[in-house]
Amino acid sequence: MVEHEKPGFDAAAVLASAGLGRRIVQLAPKEAFFSQGDPADSVFYLQEGRAKVTVVATSGKEGTIMLLAAGDFVGEEALATMPGFRLATATATTACTALRISREEMIHAMHEGHSFSDLFLKFLLERSIRVQADLVDQLFNSSEKRLARILLLMAEFGKPGEPEQYIPRISQETLAEMVGTTRSRVSFFMNRFRKLGFIEYNKRIKVHKSLLNAVLLDQMSVRKSE
């Protein structure tokens, strides 16, 4: 028997507005959606803004593991069969507007609307591919090439829009955490990228398409010692 989507179900409307089990929240820069160790009781859909996901080790060292943009979900671990606690912290890096969806409402929406469950499954598959690509990047690429890839992802190259974009403000310390190197190495590579015309930066960083071309053509210098 083929199940059909319930009449009148609109996936876009569910993600755009508040309702039963859904609440729109506004976050200022550096404000947390949730923190590591909090109960995993909801999923957030980022409508506007940028955010990051970080983890803190028992030693107290913090690492940035993911950057988020409008259209991303975060906190999907709440949908586990036995919901537990947050394994990471999600924090706004710019002013954000997000839809907080309770675990129960998220499950209900996925059951009621195939368009919604298809959208969410597509997102999960894309995130899984991204995580695998991040792992390959860490294992096989130089820190210079890893930095270039992060800048390109933040500029959203490969997506519709302007071919050259300013990326959200991000510190070199955060970039170093994501690359897996030191701040001094990030500073060295950023200066090199600027001299080569791959980026411009004063208070904000503008990424040029030439950086993408350099990565695709494997023209980044490889330092085996890194």
Mean predicted lDDT score pLDDT of the chain: 86
pLDDT confidence tier of residue 226, bands split at 50, 70 and 90: very low
Rounded to the nearest 5°, which phi and psi values hold at 105?
Answer: -70, -35
pLDDT number for residue 161 = 55
Cα 38 from chain centroid (whole Å): 20
pTM for the model stands at: 0.77
**Using CA atoms, how far apart are residues 149 and 155, in angstroms rounded to an integer?**
10
Percentage, residues of the chain above pLDDT 70: 89
142-216: same fold as 12-135?
no
* 44: nearest Cα among 66, 65, 64, 22: 22
Domain residue ranges of the chain, discontinuous segments joined by +:
12-135, 142-216
92-109 tens-digit pLDDT: 988 999 999 999 999 999
CA gap 7, 40 in Å, rounded: 31
Evaluate if residue 110 carries a pLDDT over 70: yes
Residue 198 has pLDDT above 50, yes or no: yes
Mean pLDDT of 195-215: 88
What digits encode the pLDDT tens for the residues 23-49? 999 999 999 999 999 999 999 999 999
Highest mean pLDDT pick, 62-71, 123-132, 182-191: 182-191
The domain 12-135: what is its CATH number? 2.60.120.10
Which CATH number is 142-216's, of 3.40.50.360, 3.90.1640.10, 3.20.20.80, 1.10.10.10? Answer: 1.10.10.10
Among 30, 119, 135, 34, which Cα is nearest to 72's? 119
